[in-house]
Amino acid sequence: MRDDGMIPFENGVHYSASNLVYIKYNSDDSGRQTMWKNYLISTLRNLRKYKGHSLINILGLAVGMAASLLIFLYVQHELSFDMFHEKAGRIQRVLLLDKSMGVSNTYAGITFVAMGPEIPKEVPEVEASVRLMDRGRQALKVGTKTFSCREMTLADPTVFKIFDFGLMQGDPETALVAPYSAAISRELAENMYGGVDDPIGKSFMWGENEVRVTGILNPIPENSHLWFDVLLSLNFPNEKGGYGENLRSWEWISAPTYFLLREGADEMDLEEKLIGVLRKNGVDENFAVTHQPLADTHLHSKNVVFDEHNRNKGDIGYVTALGAVAVFIMLIAVLNFMNLSTARSQNRAREVGMRKVVGAGKRQLFMQFMGESVVLSLGGIVMAFGMVILAGLPISSGFGLKLDPAVLARPPIMLGILAAALFTGLLAGIWPALVMSSFRPESVLRGAFKSRHGLGMRRFLVVVQFGISTALIISSGVVFQQMRYIKQKDLGYDRNQVLTFPLNREAAGRFEPLVEKLAMSSAILSWSTSDNVPGRTMNRTGIRPDGIAQDDPWVVSTMRMDEHFIETMGMTLRQGRNFSREFGTDAEEAVILNHSAADAIGWDDPLGKTFNQGKLKVIGVIDDFHFTNIRHVVEPLVIFFRPGADRMLSLKLKAGSIREAVEHLEDVWETLFPGAPLEYVFLDDEFEQIYRREENFGSLTRGFTVLAIFIAGLGLFGLVAHTVEQRTKEIGIRKVLGAGVGGLVVLLSRTYLNLVLLANLIAWPAAYFLMSGWLRDFAYRIELGLEIFLLSMAAAAVIAMLTVSFHCIRAAGADPVKALRYE
């Protein structure tokens, strides 16, 4: 060694001793400790020496890990729904299948109201059952003050035996036994009764009924598909013609029903026994039932209708898809690491040669490089945690998701993440370690070493990275196009500037003064009443079209409307006339069909046709409108005439005068019903909410696609930088011989551009298969055209060219004299 610390080798090559760590390979513990210490020192030195390369590697891993952790938080929240119940594994939900003509074979989240109490009696495997009937927002009175609960649910007393909702105050065994008894939330109790410490025994009026508070509910976790702030007893008085008698009816389908299996119960013949309960009570063969585990209710119910409790349901398909995206992003990050590490292998060839000369074996070198990979991976996970903490809250609020970074601090999850980080480091480092530990010292130290180790592999990895990125670009593009199609599709009604709100009993009783005062504002163009509005689940009933030879009744969706509804909603009357008060019999016998109903029955000219032995007569046919989710085909609909007050009042507002109209409505309401809550929604806002899940999925897909492209581009950036560095002398010679900047850019970028184009062609079939399956969930959907695939190819090519061109233009513009002196 010379005095300046350089080690001379032949051909004038010198190697700095400061970059070497002499390792004495002892077999005792102290030797192993020294060895691992030297590994760490060497790793830190190399990180410092190759700062740019190290930053790209760690940043790529960190971004991939952060994206995967964010998706993990979302998936973990979705999979945790309803699992806080101690008996969750034994709780089942009853689903009803209506196979009548006119109805799609879709399961419903409700069943016959009389079925619930009969299940434990007739099915030995069942320990208890409960009915939970949603009543939505309700007006409650305490003295002269009116309050509004957000969600009232009618429940059997067995609810606390099956579910772990629990009571802060009150006895769950007896809380809902007495008629008109209720358990309410602490928040509602404080609003209604002020600072009373013990609201048990207090009362409130629900309509004409006095309800006694018998319990205060524990807060319901966010990961529950059931939510309510009033739980009212279903033990209504058994009065003739009253609600209690109706609850024993086998003709009324309205009750979401759950049951608890006995410990160790066999589910083999459970469905047959449930159907047997129907048949024993005279239910027609058109109806069947099945059971759904509670754990599946949130994520496996996208095609379940009449599912009011589960209105914020998730989709296992979206959860699986985002989980796959997380895997793909991590795969891109790992491949990125492998690619950059093997590409940089020549820079460390002399180090490897010197280590072998001073006694290091292939195994020791392999362990050293694997250790470096693990250190980089652990550094990446630390950065990833910081990114998650910074990005978690904005993503949660922006997409309406439940992402709680504190979940990551739980010991089991933290250990799992660290184990995953270690595994990632080992997986990412194994190929580079094998490559670098296999260098031959004699060729390296002579200075004649030119590594082409893994060139084919590196190109293959580029193809895989951009193939995955392209598939994600296509997928996010298809989701975007489908959501744009849904928003722009003609739904058969105009949802813009339509405000709707429920009419409580008091408002219905003073309906005429209400609409007279509302009509005084020029900002309100029209008003109408109905029992429902488009976008919500309609009722169903059985009908028998006269003159049609069918033994079984048709089951159709139904709604009631007044004579102003068609105008207010901007619907089109296809044939016949609208309802009118001038025809005295319209309220008793007139009906309007949608086009699908007339078409399904087979009536070319339905006007004048009758149902139910002449009791109902068709006076008009309306163009189809989407009264449920656009995922489903428009089903037959029969519309009845209901003049005057009904459940809903809808107002068509003048464009540009919405604020004026809302202020007028609030003033009128306060004048007529002082203190009573007014809760209105706009139909376009409600429409957006219906498809919020798809919108969030599309936004998340686009966001993570950008991250995947960023990681792949980052790797390509580092890879091209290394390639240009290796070809510096060649570039200088070509410039001396007259090559222009443009020609050099084409020369250097051609290989990578070809790889990206190849990646696109490989990604197309996979993306087509996956997105065709996703689109099949929609009854109305876009067609997968060639343009989305060509656009994805163009996007990937542009991204690659921009990444490659930066280094190519910089190298091509360099002074050729400096390039020729390189090396």
At 424-443, the pLDDT tens digits run: 777 777 766 666 666 566 55
**Do the domain assignments include residue 460?**
no
| Domain-ending residue, one of 297, 328, 354 | 297
The pLDDT of residue 241: 59
Residue 255 and residue 398 in one domain: no
Hey, what amino acid is at 530? S
Backbone φ and ψ for 346, nearest 5 degrees, come out as: -65, -30
Residue 68 and residue 98 in one domain: no
Residue 697 and residue 735 in one domain: yes
**β-strand 6-8 against 14-16: which pairing, if any?**
antiparallel
Query: Is-contact 635 557, C-beta < 8 A?
Result: yes
Q: Which tokens hold the place of 487?
A: 């928003």
Residue 162 and residue 126 in one domain: yes
Instruction: Quote the CA–CA distance of 391 and 63 in Å, as a whole number.
Output: 12
Instruction: Quote the CA–CA distance of 597 and 721 in Å, as a whole number.
Output: 66
Q: Which H or E run includes 146?
A: strand 145-155
**Do the domain assignments include residue 426?**
yes
Q: Which tokens hold the place of 214?
A: 């018998």
Hey, what amino acid is at 392? G
Write the pLDDT tens digit of every residue in 447-478. Answer: 544 555 556 666 777 788 888 888 888 988 88
| Domain-ending residue, one of 644, 662, 689 | 689
**Do the domain assignments include residue 461?**
no
**Do the domain assignments include residue 262?**
yes
Residue 71 and residue 146 in one domain: no
Q: How many residues does the chain have?
A: 823
**Do the domain assignments include residue 492?**
no
Residue 380 and residue 311 in one domain: yes
The pLDDT of residue 3: 47
Q: Which tokens hold the place of 366?
A: 């392999």
Burial of 622 (C-beta count, 10 Å sphere; 0-12/13-18/19+): buried
Give the residue among 754, 35, 610, 797 at the shortest CA–CA distance from 355. 35
Instruction: Quote the CA–CA distance of 755 and 459 in Å, as a whole number.
Output: 7
**Do the domain assignments include residue 459?**
no
Give the percent of the chain with pLDDT over 90: 29
The pLDDT of residue 85: 95
Phi-psi region of 410 (alpha: psi -120 to 50; beta: other; left: phi over 0): beta
| Total tally of structural domains belonging to the chain | 4
| Domain-ending residue, one of 667, 689, 711 | 689
Return all residues near 687 (Cβ < 8 A) that are at least 6 apart: 495, 535
The pLDDT of residue 713: 77
Residue 681 and residue 721 in one domain: no
Count of other CB atoms within 10 angstroms of residue 496: 13
**Do the domain assignments include residue 190?**
yes
Instruction: Quote the CA–CA distance of 325 and 328 in Å, as a whole number.
Output: 5
Instruction: Quote the CA–CA distance of 766 and 691 in Å, as a whole number.
Output: 26
Q: How far apart are the first and last CA of the chain?
A: 22
Give the residue among 55, 74, 66 at the shortest CA–CA distance from 708. 66
Query: Is-contact 587 641, C-beta < 8 A?
Result: yes
Give the residue among 131, 124, 104, 121 at the shortest CA–CA distance from 252. 131
Residue 680 and residue 730 in one domain: no
CA distances from 741 to 69, 72, 570, 716 (A): 43, 46, 63, 21
Residue 258 and residue 366 in one domain: no
Instruction: Quote the CA–CA distance of 58 and 45 in Å, as a whole number.
Output: 15
- At 471 the three-state DSSP class reads helix
Residue 477 and residue 380 in one domain: no
Query: Is-contact 95 304, C-beta < 8 A?
Result: yes
The domain of 708 spans 468-487+690-823
Return all residues near 391 (Cβ < 8 A) that are at least 6 apart: 66, 70
Query: Is-contact 535 602, C-beta < 8 A?
Result: no
DSSP 88: G
Residue 327 and residue 410 in one domain: yes
**Do the domain assignments include residue 463?**
no
Which residues on adjacent β-strands are paired with residue 253? 112
- pTM for this model (two decimals): 0.78
The pLDDT of residue 726: 65
Query: Is-contact 123 296, C-beta < 8 A?
Result: no
The pLDDT of residue 161: 95
Residue 706 and residue 651 in one domain: no
In the chain, which residues have pLDDT < 70? 1-40, 42-43, 50, 52-53, 101-105, 239-242, 340-362, 393, 396-402, 431-458, 549-553, 718-719, 721-728, 741-742, 744, 748, 807-808, 810-823
